[in-house]
Amino acid sequence: MTSLGRPGMIRLIVTATASLMAVASLACAGPAAASRADNIPPPVVDTAQLPPIVLSARVLDMASEYRAYMRRTAALTAHFQNGDAIEKSLAQAETYEPQQLVRGAVAYAAVIALQDPAFVAGVRVYAANRGVRKDFADRIIADPYYITGMPGAGTAANMIMTALHNHGQKMSELGGKIRLAAYDVQREQPWSKSFVTDRNGRLAAAKALSAAPMTPVPEEVASLAEAVSGSTKFVETELPSGAATEAAPAPYSQFVARSLALAALAALGEGGEENDAALDTLLNDSSAGFCLNMSKLNLYQCLAVAKPWYEDMFCLGLHAMADTGQCIAKAAGEPTLAMQQPATGVTSTGAPSASVALHGKPPGER
């Protein structure tokens, strides 16, 4: 893993004319940014020579898909009056293709990182000269961890980790509530013991929804585009007040490094449509993708053996919601999220399938 330390910064700076290297916005970032600049005095240039901060429309589309999915699942409830309501919530939670959701999460996290003025200013020192900018961009694409030593990378990483942890925590908590509610409706609601209508069709639908491509959401795209261009309200709506003001200690997860790298390319002015092929190399996080694939497989197994409606509730809560939330938080480098346990003593560590937890039987043994 390579980081951009003092020697790397000096090499980049001396390759360009001093009059082309600086950015006045670094001074605007304040003393905190200057203290993280490794004591390298930035030259001064005309900011008119800097390219605009840009993320391609395709990347913003992906970020919008992720953000819209998080909004939809956050609006779900743990209270159900009938089986149809359970199936509608299942359809909402399971409608994502794992690799696409990961790419959208990386794109979204890059927008979060661009809200850190110290990080953006530190990167834009290298944006004025085309040769320096291209060399810097090539290094980032070749090794995303290259950017993690930049001024402001620690606070930008903390912002990413905080935002993704919040998303994962909300999903996991709601999933835990739905999972626990399955025990309550089993005891108290006779309708919940009726068998699911068209079980095979329901499982087939889950697999189809999990493979279908997500579609961009125009209003989300507009909001994200404004954030990239410099809106300050975006962070206020995405992060708790006063959150992520300190630098997160390295090393960072692959997901965080890739998100920082993508944000850095945007800050350099190298994040536009002309570089979509290069951006693609940063959007794929194999670890997070594997985690989400496993959550889908667990969901399919759970739905395959679930018969009464309350078992579908269990599958929804544990696998469609809580497992997905765990994967999102884990991608950002967060530890396993705690999940409230049912009074029966079933644990989430090595959690059994719905069949085991509710009937004491493993999958397939009916």
Where exactly are the structural domains of the chain? 6-358
**Residue 300: pLDDT over 50:** yes
Higher local confidence (pLDDT), 230 or 289? 289
Q: CA-CA distances (angstroms) from residue 211 to 2, 4, 204, 208, 237?
A: 36, 39, 11, 5, 30
**Residue 366: pLDDT over 70:** no
Cβ atoms of residues 171 and 328 within 8 Å = yes
Q: Which residues of 257-284 are buried (b: 16+ CB within 10 A; e: fewer)?
A: bbbbbbbbbbbbbbbbeebeebbeebbe
Condensed to tens digits (0 to 9), the pLDDT of residues 302-323 reads 999 999 999 999 999 999 999 9
Question: Which pLDDT band, with edges at 50, 70 and 90, does 201 fall under?
Answer: very high
Proportion of the chain above pLDDT 70, given as a percent: 75
What's the CA gap between 328 and 143, in Å, rounded?
23
The pLDDT value given to residue 272: 94
**Residue 229: pLDDT over 80:** yes
Helix (H, G, I), strand (E, B) or coil at 23: coil
Q: What is the mean pLDDT of residues 75-102?
A: 96
The pLDDT value given to residue 18: 35
Helix pair 153-188, 57-74: axis angle to 10 deg: 40
Would you state the structure tokens that stand for residue 309, as one six-digit string? 């409606």
Cβ atoms of residues 172 and 321 within 8 Å = yes
